[in-house]
Amino acid sequence: MRLAIIIEGTQNSGKTSTIKELIKLFGFKNLKQMKAGWQQIFLNPIFKSLRIVFYCIPASPSETDIPLSKRFEEWQHLPEMLILAEQVGGQHHGSTMAFLNANHYHIKVFSINNSNGVNHWERFDNLTKNVKLSKRAYDITDFIKSFLKTNSIV
């Protein structure tokens, strides 16, 4: 069963920062720069019995002007799990969703609200950045755990 997790927000809203924090907290890698590629996280950072490998697209198809259909056109097998950024209302937002649906991905969207507020899915500033990004990473891993249990994958 395929899973696509989309971190959705406006340009410069913290989509890539959210993915980097997920990899930092649960993959133990502090990335200075993110590129598309394979990553792994542990769903329990203390008891590392369950490792999740996923294909990561930290710069949205809309911002890079590379639709998912083009990115994966020569692949023999699509990744079972994707974590990607996508820009709200971006030029490829519709084609991203269409590609994922056509290829039978279960889609979970985490939306970053474009307002400044106390909720961790709202924009952050220098004072709230670490706390908000950490809470977002935990939300994502909690969803993955729930998805795996609900679908009897583990």
Sign of CA dihedral 33, 35, 40, 42: positive
Q: Is the pLDDT of residue 139 over 80?
A: yes
Question: What percent of the residues of the chain are helix, what percent strand, and what percent coil, each to the nearest 5?
Answer: 35, 25, 40
Tens of pLDDT along 58-92? Answer: 999 999 999 999 999 999 999 999 999 999 999 99
* pTM metric for this prediction: 0.91
Ordered by start, the domain boundaries in the chain are 2-79+102-150
Tens of pLDDT along 14-65? Answer: 999 999 999 999 888 777 777 888 998 887 766 667 788 999 999 999 999 9
Sheet harboring 81-87: ordered strands across? 37-42, 51-57, 81-87, 2-9, 105-111
